[in-house]
Structure 1
Amino acid sequence: MLFFEFSTFLFLFAIYVNAEWNTKDFMKREHSLIKPYYGSGIEIPFWQFMGSTIVTPNYIRLTPDLQSKVGAIWNSVPVNVRNWELQVHFKVHGKGKDLFGDGFVIWYAKERMKDGPVFGNNDFFQGLAIILDTYSNHNGPHNHQHPYISGMVNNGTLHYDHDRDGTHTQLAGCEARFRNLGYDTHIAIRYEKDVLTVSTDIENKAAWKDCFQVKGVKLPTGYYLGLSATTGDLSDNHDIMSVRLFELDLPDDPQADEDRSNILPSATFFEPPRDHVEDPKPSSLSGVKVFLLMLIGSIAIVACVVLGIMFYQKHHEKKMKRFY
C-alpha cells in the first residue's frame, strides 16, 4: 500500500513538473490579433493598418474583391522570441470562378509598413515571407496548380520575380485549395530549432496537414509580423480573422541563448533554381482573323487543285487531237 501511494505521488509530481516546465508555451498577446479588434477609438492595440484595409467586427479585410487594391496590417512590437509558432485564421473568397487573384503574404520582416510590388510589401526585403498565391493565370512554366503556398527567405539581395511566382527563389511549396470554401481555413508557421514547418487546416478536419518543411533556416530576432495582399486585373476578398503567436518552450535547444539580433536571414536549402525563360509572345491575331485566314487558305488550295485538274484535262485533250 505504501509503495502504491509513493508511486502515485511520483506520477503526480511528474505531471506537476511537466506543467511548470511548459509555462512559457503560451500565446503572446502583443503579437496576436483576435476579436474584438478595437481598443480605444479606431486603433488596434499593437497593430497598424494601411492601404485598402478595413476593420469590421468579425474580420479584417486586406483587400475587397475589386481591381488594383493593396492592403496590409503590421504588428508594431518586434518579436524577440527565439522559437515560435504563428497561426492565422483567414478566408480568401470572391465572385470569380475561373479567374481570380492575386493572393496574400504572411511576413516576418525587418521593415514594416512599406508599400511595394511584392503583394503590397517592398522587394529586396529582409526576413521570411509565406506566400499564399491565388493568381489563376499561370505566370510562365510551372509544375504546380494554384492556389499555391510557398516560402521565401531573403537577406535583402534577392528579387521576388512576380512574373514567375517567385519559383526561382522559393524554399519549398505546396498546392493548397483554400479559396471559396464554406468553412474555416487556417495556416500554421512553426519556427523551431532552425526548422521551418508550414502546415494547413483547409479540409474541415480540425487537424494540421504538412505543406512543407525546410531545415537550416536562420532568422534574426527583433523582426516584425505583418500581412499584406494585392489585387490587379483579377481580384478577391482577402480576410484575416485572427493571428496568434505562440512562444515555444524548448528546454533542450542548445542555441536558446544565442544572440540572433544581428544576423542576416539565411537558408541552407533552396529548391533547384529555374531559369527565367520569357513566355512566347501571344499572337496579335484574333480568333476571327485566324479563322478567316484559314478559310482563305483552304479556298486557295481548292482553287489550285481545280485549276491543275482543268489544265491537265486540256493538255490531255490536245495530245489526243494530235494523235488522231
Structure 2
Amino acid sequence: MAAEGWIWRWRWGWGRRCPGRPGLPGPGPGPTTPLLLLLFLGPVAADITDGNSEHLKREHSLIKPYQGVGSSSMPLWDFQGSTILTSQYVRLTPDERSKEGSIWNHQPCFLKDWEMHIHFKVHGTGKKNLHGDGIALWYTRDRLVPGPVFGSKDNFHGLAIFLDTYPNDETTERVFPYISVMVNNGSLSYDHSKDGRWTELAGCTADFRNREHDTFLAVRYSRGRLTVMTDLEDKNEWKNCVDITGVRLPTGYYFGASAGTGDLSDNHDIISMKLFQLMVEHTPDEENIDWTKIEPSVNFLKSPKVQLPAVCVQDIHWSPTSTFLASPSSVPCLPSVAHQYPSMGLELASSGQ
C-alpha cells in the first residue's frame, strides 16, 4: 500500500471504535497506537482527535435521549416546518408530498477544526426513482430560513452537503442517491433542475436509502481540508466520498439539517449529530487571523457544465477573496462562467471568436 493511502487509513482511525457507537471506527488513533508511529507521522498526528468524550462538543451535538419530545424545540436546537421530535429520531419530513423541515443548532461554532458524525435514515414506500428529494447538512451563516434547497434558503453563506435521492436531470450519468458538496459566499444559486452540478465541488454515489441497518456520514474540516466519508454497508468502517483541499470556512456559523419533498416523498430522519473538536496546532499567523471574517471560498472550482458563449480560459480558480480568475491560453475553449457567477467578479479573456 502506498504511504499516503496507509497514512489516510490511520488518519480516519480504522480499527478504532467510535464513542457511543459499538464497533465503528472512530475519529482518531486509539490508546494503543505505537509511539514510533506517532513520531514517524509527526504533524499528521497532531490533527487527530483521540475520540475521548472531552472532545465531544455537546453544545453542538444532538444526542438521545432527546429533551422536549412532542414540542417544537429542545435545548440547543430549534425546529421548523414539518419537523417532529420523537423519542427515537428527529423526522424532518414525513413520507408525504410538499413538506419541508429543518433543525438548527442554537449556538454558533467557533472551532477552527472539527468533525461531525451524522446518524441518519432516509426511507419510504416509493419504488425506484419514485421518491425524493433528500437531506441537506449545513454549516452556514444564517439559520432557520426556509427555502427551495432541500427545505432551506438558496444563495447561502457557508458549506452544504446534499444527500440527493432523486435525479431531476434526465441527461445525468450519475447513479442516485448521490452526495455532493457546495461552498457558497452568497452569490451562487443551487440549480435543482441540474441536481446542483454547476456548483458542485465533488461528490459520490451512495446507496443510503431504505437500508435495513444504520447509515452514517462523517464530515471533517481541518486546515482547509474538507473530507466526507460514509458508513452505509453495516461493516463498521468508513468509505471515502469527498476529499478537497483549499477550502476556507469561517468560524461563528451554525450547524443544521433540512429536508424537502415535492411531488415525490420520503421519510427523512436524523438520529444524532455529534460534533468533535480536532486538536490541531496552527501557526502564529493563523492564530492571529480573525476567523469570523473569513469569506467562504475554495481555491478551485471547476467550470460549470452549461452551454454559454465560449471563451478560452486556463486555470480558473476561486481565490481566497472569492473572485474567479482566469488567464488566456491556447487550450480548447470552455463554456463561459460569467453568466452564472456575475457577482463574484469573474475575469475572463475572450478568444475573439
- Shorter-chain TM-score: what band? 0.7 to 0.9
Alpha-carbon distance in structure 2 between the residues aligned to 1:120 and 1:40 = 22
Residue of structure 2 aligned with 1:186, choices 216, 227, 231: 216
Equivalences for residues 94-173 of structure 1 within 5 A? 94-98=124-128, 99-135=130-166, 137-173=167-203
Q: Considering only aligned residues, what root-mean-square deviation do their CA atoms show, in Å?
A: 2.3
Question: What letter corresponds to residue 247 of structure 1 in structure 2?
Answer: Q
Matched residues, number: 260
Question: What letter corresponds to residue 34 of structure 1 in structure 2?
Answer: I
8 Å CA contact 2:90, 2:271 repeated in 1: yes
Shift of 1:270: 2.3
Q: TM-score, normalised by structure 1?
A: 0.76
The structure that is helix-richer by fraction is 1
**CA offsets, 1:170-210, max 9 Å, x none?**
11000000000000000000001100000000011111100
**CA offsets, 1:88-131, max 9 Å, x none?**
00000000111110001000000000011111111110000000
Question: Structure 2: which 5+ runs fail to align?
Answer: 1-34, 39-45, 309-353
**1:234 corresponds to which residue?**
264
Question: Structure 1: which 5+ runs fail to align?
Answer: 1-10, 278-324
Largest Rg, 1 or 2: 1
Alpha-carbon distance in structure 2 between the residues aligned to 1:257 and 1:24 = 29
Q: Which has the higher contact order (CA 8 A, sep 6+)?
A: 1
**1:68 corresponds to which residue?**
98
Gap change, CA 1:145 and 1:276, over 3 Å in 2: farther
Question: What letter corresponds to residue 115 of structure 1 in structure 2?
Answer: P
Shift of 1:37: 1.1
Alpha-carbon distance in structure 2 between the residues aligned to 1:108 and 1:209 = 22
Residue of structure 1 aligned with 2:293, choices 262, 272, 275: 262
| Counterpart check, 1:275 vs 2:298 | no
Equivalences for residues 47-66 of structure 1 within 5 A? 47-66=77-96
Shift of 1:41: 8.3
Alpha-carbon distance in structure 2 between the residues aligned to 1:117 and 1:109 = 16
**1:92 corresponds to which residue?**
122
**1:246 corresponds to which residue?**
276
Q: Secondary structure at the match of 2:198?
A: coil
| Counterpart check, 1:206 vs 2:236 | yes
**CA offsets, 1:245-267, max 9 Å, x none?**
00100125663553210121001
Query: What is the aligned-residue identity percentage?
Result: 53
| Counterpart check, 1:38 vs 2:67 | yes
Question: What letter corresponds to residue 27 of structure 1 in structure 2?
Answer: L
**CA offsets, 1:272-318, max 9 Å, x none?**
420169xxxxxxxxxxxxxxxxxxxxxxxxxxxxxxxxxxxxxxxxx
Equivalences for residues 18-33 of structure 1 within 5 A? 26-33=55-62
8 Å CA contact 2:69, 2:85 repeated in 1: no
Q: TM-score, normalised by structure 2?
A: 0.70
Q: Secondary structure at the match of 2:292?
A: coil
Question: What letter corresponds to residue 29 of structure 1 in structure 2?
Answer: R
Moved beyond 6 Å, runs of 4+? 21-25
